[in-house]
Structure 1
């Protein structure tokens, strides 16, 4: 079954991403996952045994849960999950003073290594 991603939020402290998705039959769900991708809005996903196909390309990831979509729950999650980079800093690099657990930045920022050097 193919799903279309409506919106995605990602938690920098846990490394878990949450995407609201909709099926062709208009069934809405929220999927909780962790991996080296963040599902962008408008993309299509298709479940596989140990991962997903994102726009037709397989990627391994861990799926923690899928729940029915609830707009109040989704809004509450969006309000509580924050990242200092959400407002943008004008740099290509993440300047957050906190360690980020995400494997990929949802804002496209690059990490600065622990030695302060840019990769």
Structure 2
């Protein structure tokens, strides 16, 4: 089944991410996942017997939970995540990097003054 990523955010405190995925039948889900790839708006996610494929490439993603989409749940998630990249995706230097659990920033930010 093919899913289209509509929005995505990360949680620097847990090293996990959330994404809204929609299929052709307009079913919307919230994916909570961890992995070596950050889903972004516009990505295509395919679920196959070989694993999760993003834009035609197999990616090491672990789905932790899948929620039925609700505006209130998504709003709660996005309001309680403190990653500056969620609000400013073009961030270059991040003051939260020292405490962030991502080895590499999903938004490409570096430590301040690097």
> Do they fold alike, i.e. is TM over 0.5?
yes
Size of the aligned set, in residue pairs, is 113
Mapped contact 1:53–1:59 kept (Cα < 8 A): yes
Moved over 6 A (4+): none
How far off is 1:107 after superposition?
A: 1.9
> The residue matched to 2:109 in structure 1 has which SS?
coil
Distance 1:7 1:20 in 2: 5
**1:81-92 equivalence runs, <5 A:** 81-86=81-86, 92=92
**Max Rg structure:** 1
Q: Which runs of 5+ in 1 are unaligned?
A: none
Q: Which runs of 5+ in 2 are unaligned?
A: none
Distance 1:22 1:91 in 2: 27
| Cα RMSD after superposing both structures | 2.5
Change (3 A) 1:50 1:109: farther
